[in-house]
Amino acid sequence: MKILAIESSCDETAAAVVVDGRKVESNIVASQIEEHKLYGGVVPEIASRRHVESIAGVVGEALSAASLGYGDVDAIAVTYAPGLIGALLVGVSYAKGLSLSTGLPLIPVHHIAGHIAANYITHPDLEPPFLCLVVSGGHSLIVEVKDYTVFNVLGRSRDDAAGECFDKAARVLGFPYPGGKHIDEAAKSGSKTAYKFTHPKLSGCEYDFSFSGIKTAVVNLVHNAEQRGEKLSREDVAASFQKTVADILGEKTALAAKATGYKKIAVAGGVSANSGVREKMKRVADSLGATLYLPDLRYCGDNAAMIGAQGYYDFLSGKRGDMSLNAVATMGL
Ligand code: KG4
Ligand code: ZN
């Protein structure tokens, strides 16, 4: 089954053609990052406008890169939640228009389920049930993937998402938006033990995260050094910060894996591209005798191939959208 998938939840306009949820025929991503960089973060109004300008071209490119026309695809999948409402609406409206004009079925896909499904593309052998650490710019979750469309969230961030924390630490260190990948790069030549950031102590759910304290610790460290006229090594701060975040993510996932007994652990979302997080998760999985599944780097950040992958399983489970489908900014898995 060939699915044409569309993703526009944040600052990438993306379209892809995916066969049977696993094989990517084309994957086009038009990033708006260069424009949002000027403002140090995503400006929702600009994002919506750029999606409107790009979507027809990106969808056309995805079809032509796969050498297909509308008559060759079997369904249209689209991200409808969660995300920036104006941005989501562009993809949802376009997909509804395509569905109406072609008669193809419409499949609404949850963005986070899509991130998880990126692993099905990279690992053709991966099947639920498994445990998944989802770390993106907007979410940090530990999820039991009980089946392709059945999820149970065990833990979540009580404040900032991991990616948000990376971006804010990067900003105070003077790196451009989005800073996660710059921290990753700088950390390669820094010392992980130069600075000590404490792990937050949380009462209640032991699988929950909190990143706002670490973010504030980095901000204070940098500002105090500036006030004293001291020069900090950005590389050392980046390496120490990245190690702290990776350790927290790894330790919480290990706790959840031990308690639930899963021997398959996956990681998903933009921050799953982080080399420190990937290494830490490998050590965690090895220590538990579990198999680790990491998405290929090109499927970590936002893309439409992951939406096509999840869309296939949503289709099999009977999920359909009609002309009343709306975008939703906030929605749990
Ligand atoms: O999943 P994603 O593309 O978008 C959302 O759904 O939010 O995640 C974007 C986040 C940003 O915060 C970005 O800085 C972070 O992923 N990110 C990274 C790396 N690459 C992207 N964070 C740390 N290390 C990286 N290599
Ligand atoms: Zn995302």
How open is the CA angle 214-39-158, to the nearest 5 degrees? 30
Task: Note the pLDDT tens digit of each residue in 237-275.
Answer: 999 999 999 999 999 999 999 999 999 999 999 999 999
What is residue 142's predicted lDDT score, i.e. its pLDDT? Answer: 98
Mutate to test the pocket of ligand 1, among 134, 140, 166 (most ligand atoms within 8 A of CB): 166
Query: Rounded to the nearest 5°, which phi and psi values hold at 26?
Result: -160, 155
The CA 146 to ligand 1 mean position distance, Å, reads 25
Dihedral sign, Cα of residue 85, residue 91, residue 94, residue 98: negative
What is residue 309's predicted lDDT score, i.e. its pLDDT? Answer: 99
The CA 272 to ligand 1 mean position distance, Å, reads 8
SS3 304: coil
Domains along the chain with CATH numbers: 2-116+300-316 (3.30.420.40), 128-297 (3.30.420.40)
Alpha helices, DSSP H only, in 195-326?
212-227, 234-260, 275-288, 305-316
What is residue 152's predicted lDDT score, i.e. its pLDDT? Answer: 98
Query: Ligand 1 — pocket residues by CB below 6 A?
Result: 10, 115, 136-138, 163, 166-167, 178-181, 184, 269-271, 273-274, 301-302
What is residue 206's predicted lDDT score, i.e. its pLDDT? Answer: 95
CA dihedral 175, 180, 184, 187 (to 10 degrees): 50
The closest-lying atom of ligand 1 relative to the alpha carbon of residue 269 is 1
Distance, first Cα to last Cα, the chain: 25
Residues of the chain with confidence (pLDDT) below 70: none
Phi/psi-derived region of residue 20, left when phi > 0, alpha when psi is between -120 and 50, beta in every other case: left
The CA 193 to ligand 2 mean position distance, Å, reads 31
- Rounded Cα distance, 68 and 63, in Å: 5
Q: Which pTM value belongs to this model?
A: 0.98
Task: Note the pLDDT tens digit of each residue in 101-158.
Answer: 999 999 999 999 999 999 999 999 999 999 999 999 999 999 999 999 999 999 999 9
- Rounded Cα distance, 247 and 142, in Å: 14
